[in-house]
Structure 1
Amino acid sequence: MYAFYFEDGHFRVGTILADNGSSLQVEAQHGKRAKVKAADVLFKFQEPGLTGFMEAAQKFAEEMDLEFLWEAAGSEEFDYQTLARDYFGHEPTPMERAAILLRLHGAPMYFYRKGRGRYKPAPPDALKAALAAEARKRQQAAQLARWVEALTAFRLPEEFAHDLPRLIYTPDKNALETKALEQAAAATHLSVLHLLEKCGAIPSSRDYHLNRFLREWFPQGRDFPPLPPVPVPDELPLASVAAFSIDDETTTEIDDALSLEKLSDGRVRVGIHIACPALGVLPGSALDSIARTRLSTVYMPGDKITMLPDQAVAAYTLQEGAACPALSTYFTVTPDYTITDVAMRVERVSIAANLRHELLEPLFNLGTIGQQADYRYREELEWLWHFAEHLEEKRGVKDTKRSLVPEYTFRVEGETVRILHRERGTPVDKVVAEMMILVNSHAGRLAAEAGIPALYRAQTNGKTRMTSEPLPHQGLGVSHYTWVSSPLRRYVDLVNQRQLLAHLRGETPPYQARDEALQSVLRDFEAAYEAYNEFQRNMERYWTLRYLLQEGIGDASATVIRENLVRFDTLPLVTKVAALPELAPGTRVRVGIRSVDLLTLEVACCFLEVLLGP
């Protein structure tokens, strides 16, 4: 006697060894014995034998017309034996009973399981939807297979072209394209990113990094919309001084300029003149909305994304040969460099020169100060340098690290990059830095003492942050510090400039204390400023790696920072070195460059030798 039973989700057949009423002892065809509950036995039979029974029943089931079987079942719940009698037209044989059970159980879209041997036909609408879904699955499986085949042969499927940015930057893990990429990446032993690159989806590694940044921070694109003309007031008084600026040769947003005026009593009046776009970029205007959204100019080697459009920059930049609107702060200084008087006013300032670092530094440096050099503004620059030295000493904070970490300038022309070493802490740097610290700290003190709400740059307990409270900047050694010196490039400076302008005019400042608009500027600016700086660092690293490939550099000298981290001696590159022995910080070593990855911005280096102890 044999039993056809249900066990572990499958139909099985076996020889009955013992019948205990509530359970059976059964031996399967291949000798395995099991205890089967009587409730799980569908039927018992004596013929035919076990050999080939399940195979024959399965084949018989597959030959049964499923559509006809569903139609014959009606719409109500039924027992399989009833359907078997109707379908075969006679009392079904064991083989027919087994076949119809296998067919019913194997078609859950057509028949819902309702218990031991009982089923209910699926409603027509539900069956239609299930069949459509099944068809879609088959189509998707076939499409997935085609895509994986193409990708593993490093061919990009045509269907991927219309949605490449999403696939590259924000893939949907549930999307079929993502699954195809993941399967193909596993098959080719590549990351998804490198697979896309080999398929031609990432033709430019530079654009990959730039577009990833733009997608997050400039979703509407980097271009400016059409804007009305930028208003520039023409009724401002003209200052009696002529000023000069000092900037990098690529700078177009010239925010600040300096002037010196010798007074009859031996004192000197130092003018620090800041471009004044707050006169034309009015709160709530279309131009202000753009600046509020961007919050800062974004810098990268060979390119930048300005906070303000070109016409606004042109209207307010301190351009040589023009009389430009400026917020001027005048410091009257005695021969021993003591400041005795400070005055701030809005005016037009004649800009006599836009001096550039690259041309000025060979003339104005530590080797030429006090010598009879002949260049424009020599006397003014040397006086400013002595004044800057005094200001730095008075602040009591000297940047001893400036000479330890080199500075580099990137020059990108097309696909070629030059990386130029630039000495830090030069007289040019010191003059500009100290004058900006001076004007920013004075503006912060003025705002605090006058009770003008402002955004401050503070450093306490080693943490630097933006705050609406007039806290000290311990790193600079000043009691108040607010950014006002770059209103063409930073929105915080523009906001602070508006506050100071209102104060000078006796008007109510646009932003009040605890104003949510002011607080939201603070929060958004900090987030954007950090992201922009991180992007700039990444792009500088990118072009440094490009330089390694461009110049075919296979090894380089470096200095150990800590553990296995080193800084290259002649390039702005910090990286880990494999198998670096335990060396003291400051030890100079030679490292080999094994590989460079422009997509992940990684460089694989190995230790070669020690060059010099710390």
Structure 2
Amino acid sequence: MTAPLPDLTPAQRTEIELLARGKQDRSRTLRELGYSETPEAAHALLLRLGLWPESRTPYADRLHATTVPLNLPVPPFPDEPRLDLTHLEAWAIDDEGNRDPDDAVGSEALPGGATRLWVHVADVAALVPPDSPLDEAARSRGATLYLPDSTTGMLPDALVEQAGLGLHGTSPALSVSLDLDAEGNADAVDVQLTTVRVTRLSYTQAQQRLDAGDPAFVALARLARASRALRESEGAISIDLPEVRLKADEHGVTITPTPKPEMRFVVQECMTLAGWGAAIFADDNGIPVPFATQDHPTREVRGEGLSAHWARRRTLARTRFQQSPGPHHGMGLDVYVQVTSPMRRYLDLVVHQQLRAFLAGADPMPGRVMASHIAQAALNADATRQSERLSRRHHTLRHVAAHPEREWTAIVVDRRGPQATLLIPELALDLQLSSSAPLGSEVRVVLEGVTLPTLGVRARIV
């Protein structure tokens, strides 16, 4: 028999909400009602009382990841010398509806058959110098928070509007160039402050240009394929697991597969090359930057099924960021930095600040100061990423609860004794249950017993 719902005073409701949001550790009200004094118990009671809707997610609050927009003033771009590249075409290619275009790609043919790849990145560091109020605010956030029902920028929307590539006729940029031969080898790399002219495209629009044989897009695809082949020859790991777009509001949840046209791979490869080129430039010029390094995978995994890709991901060591260059074995590169998302990731912004200081003839931050900034931001970025992961699971389970009788196709991607890990590609959701189904097999499951406060769900094989 279900216990009667308590009649709470406004003060008691506030006390329980604070516990559910992780803003206090105890609740006298819950204790007197016989409930556990945990955020999950508080959340469950708020749902039962109808005080919180099922769409309410408390994870950002609990992890101290802010959901309040940043509204600090943004300075104008400084008047300074820049290389004018407005005669070259460049494209900011992203998902439909993207609101923070911070990178773009283009290329030009060179004498002798080589091609110069250009990766332009919004010159955010021109507006956010180290230890400025904007820098300190971005550091306190660590990264942009992308939730299924909202986005909270690491930097103000006004800065995105001012610096975003393709939002104006021309844009200031920090541009990485790589002169590549037909096999993807780099003959020269450079980093410069530039002015660029950028056109925004969705991945679908870019793919249409490639399919139509547009020479510029064919050239980019050829470079990307050669680069990927070269990195794979150096041990780069390919992991292809299901991805979905998840949108949520108080009315419901929509989940759709993320399209993977070739142009998505092309853009990703160009961004990888930009990180490689920027790292070479920093190393050659003695610029302190956080180099991204990764040890060898713990073992080799063969095969191309979902279970193989799942296992391959588990072999990857955690990426480390250090002041000295070193190999990133998962990417098959001898040196690498993250450089293409300074609007969205503080680590990328620091790389830009260091490169820009060098290019402007100023002194970059000393290594110890840079390391201190990164360490502070890393803690906040971890909270942001965890908030995103938990919120996505929450809304995915809302979607599951709305289809209680539905059978879902799942793949057994891992086994640990009698326990199997199932992956439902349509939801990009993994879960564990007891099953003797062999690794890699396909099963049909019904998901039942969704419990949002604990993010729990039971699976039953049909």
> Shorter-chain TM-score: which interval?
0.7 to 0.9
- Structure 1 partner of 2:219: 383
- Structure 2 partner of 1:208: 57
By how many angstroms is 1:328 displaced?
1.1
* Secondary structure in structure 2 of the residue aligned to 1:475: helix
For residues 158-197 of structure 1, the aligned pairs below 5 Å read 158-170=10-22, 176-181=28-33, 183=34, 191-197=41-47
Q: 1:434 to 1:600 in 2, by over 3 A?
A: same
By how many angstroms is 1:354 displaced?
0.6
Equivalent in 261, 268, 284 of residue 449 of structure 1: 284
* Secondary structure in structure 1 of the residue aligned to 2:77: coil
Distance (whole Å) between structure 1 residues aligned to residue 179 and residue 284 of structure 2: 20
By how many angstroms is 1:493 displaced?
1.1
- Structure 2 partner of 1:313: 160
Q: Are residues 1:223 and 2:61 paired?
A: no
Deviation digits for residues 472-524 of structure 1 (CA, Å, limit 9, x no counterpart):
11100111111111111111111111111122233211x113x2x32222222
Comparing 170-179 and 409-418, the one that deviates more = 170-179
For residues 281-320 of structure 1, the aligned pairs below 5 Å read 281-320=128-167
Distance (whole Å) between structure 2 residues aligned to residue 384 and residue 348 of structure 1: 21
Deviation digits for residues 157-211 of structure 1 (CA, Å, limit 9, x no counterpart):
3331343432323486765324224x1579xxx945323321233x1233233xx
* Secondary structure in structure 1 of the residue aligned to 2:435: coil
Check conservation: 1:323, 1:348, Cα contact below 8 A.
Answer: yes
- Structure 1 partner of 2:201: 355
Distance (whole Å) between structure 1 residues aligned to residue 26 and residue 93 of structure 2: 54
Letter in 1 for 2:251: E
Check conservation: 2:183, 2:227, Cα contact below 8 A.
Answer: no
For residues 91-170 of structure 1, the aligned pairs below 5 Å read 152-170=4-22
Distance (whole Å) between structure 2 residues aligned to residue 162 and residue 551 of structure 1: 33
Letter in 2 for 1:493: D
Q: 1:193 to 1:214 in 2, by over 3 A?
A: closer
- Structure 1 partner of 2:430: 574
* Secondary structure in structure 2 of the residue aligned to 1:296: coil
Percentage of matched positions with identical amino acids: 27
Check conservation: 2:19, 2:25, Cα contact below 8 A.
Answer: no
Distance (whole Å) between structure 2 residues aligned to residue 346 and residue 173 of structure 1: 50
Count of residues paired in the alignment: 430
Check conservation: 2:77, 2:127, Cα contact below 8 A.
Answer: yes
Distance (whole Å) between structure 2 residues aligned to residue 307 and residue 153 of structure 1: 41
Check conservation: 1:466, 1:526, Cα contact below 8 A.
Answer: no
Q: 1:171 to 1:295 in 2, by over 3 A?
A: closer
By how many angstroms is 1:306 displaced?
0.6
Letter in 1 for 2:279: G
Q: 1:180 to 1:200 in 2, by over 3 A?
A: farther
Distance (whole Å) between structure 1 residues aligned to residue 390 and residue 35 of structure 2: 29
Check conservation: 2:115, 2:181, Cα contact below 8 A.
Answer: yes
Check conservation: 1:456, 1:469, Cα contact below 8 A.
Answer: yes
By how many angstroms is 1:275 displaced?
0.7
By how many angstroms is 1:552 displaced?
4.5
- Structure 2 partner of 1:470: 325
Distance (whole Å) between structure 1 residues aligned to residue 63 and residue 173 of structure 2: 34
Distance (whole Å) between structure 1 residues aligned to residue 393 and residue 275 of structure 2: 31
* Secondary structure in structure 1 of the residue aligned to 2:378: helix
Q: Are residues 1:605 and 2:459 paired?
A: yes
Letter in 2 for 1:496: V
TM-score (norm 1): 0.65
Distance (whole Å) between structure 2 residues aligned to residue 542 and residue 553 of structure 1: 19
Distance (whole Å) between structure 2 residues aligned to residue 184 and residue 264 of structure 1: 75
* Secondary structure in structure 2 of the residue aligned to 1:205: coil
Check conservation: 2:190, 2:281, Cα contact below 8 A.
Answer: no
- Structure 2 partner of 1:121: none
Q: 1:300 to 1:337 in 2, by over 3 A?
A: same
By how many angstroms is 1:470 displaced?
1.4
By how many angstroms is 1:455 displaced?
0.9
Equivalent in 269, 283, 288 of residue 434 of structure 1: 269
Check conservation: 2:15, 2:27, Cα contact below 8 A.
Answer: no
Distance (whole Å) between structure 2 residues aligned to residue 233 and residue 321 of structure 1: 17
By how many angstroms is 1:296 displaced?
0.9
Deviation digits for residues 338-387 of structure 1 (CA, Å, limit 9, x no counterpart):
43232321011111x111124444x267xx4xxxx26xxx3222211111
Check conservation: 2:94, 2:203, Cα contact below 8 A.
Answer: yes
Q: 1:345 to 1:180 in 2, by over 3 A?
A: same
Distance (whole Å) between structure 2 residues aligned to residue 215 and residue 592 of structure 1: 31
- Structure 1 partner of 2:307: none
Q: 1:231 to 1:466 in 2, by over 3 A?
A: same
Distance (whole Å) between structure 1 residues aligned to residue 182 and residue 277 of structure 2: 21
Check conservation: 2:401, 2:448, Cα contact below 8 A.
Answer: no
Check conservation: 1:259, 1:270, Cα contact below 8 A.
Answer: yes
Q: 1:224 to 1:334 in 2, by over 3 A?
A: closer
Check conservation: 1:564, 1:576, Cα contact below 8 A.
Answer: yes
Equivalent in 518, 522, 525 of residue 374 of structure 2: 522
By how many angstroms is 1:257 displaced?
0.6
Q: 1:236 to 1:207 in 2, by over 3 A?
A: farther
By how many angstroms is 1:264 displaced?
5.1
Distance (whole Å) between structure 2 residues aligned to residue 244 and residue 592 of structure 1: 44
Q: 1:331 to 1:200 in 2, by over 3 A?
A: same
Letter in 2 for 1:298: L
Distance (whole Å) between structure 2 residues aligned to residue 483 and residue 541 of structure 1: 27
Deviation digits for residues 93-116 of structure 1 (CA, Å, limit 9, x no counterpart):
xxxxxxxxxxxxxxxxxxxxxxxx
TM-score (norm 2): 0.85
Distance (whole Å) between structure 1 residues aligned to residue 351 and residue 23 of structure 2: 41
- Structure 2, unmatched stretches of 5+, are 297-316
Distance (whole Å) between structure 2 residues aligned to residue 171 and residue 539 of structure 1: 18
By how many angstroms is 1:152 displaced?
4.3
Distance (whole Å) between structure 2 residues aligned to residue 412 and residue 159 of structure 1: 30
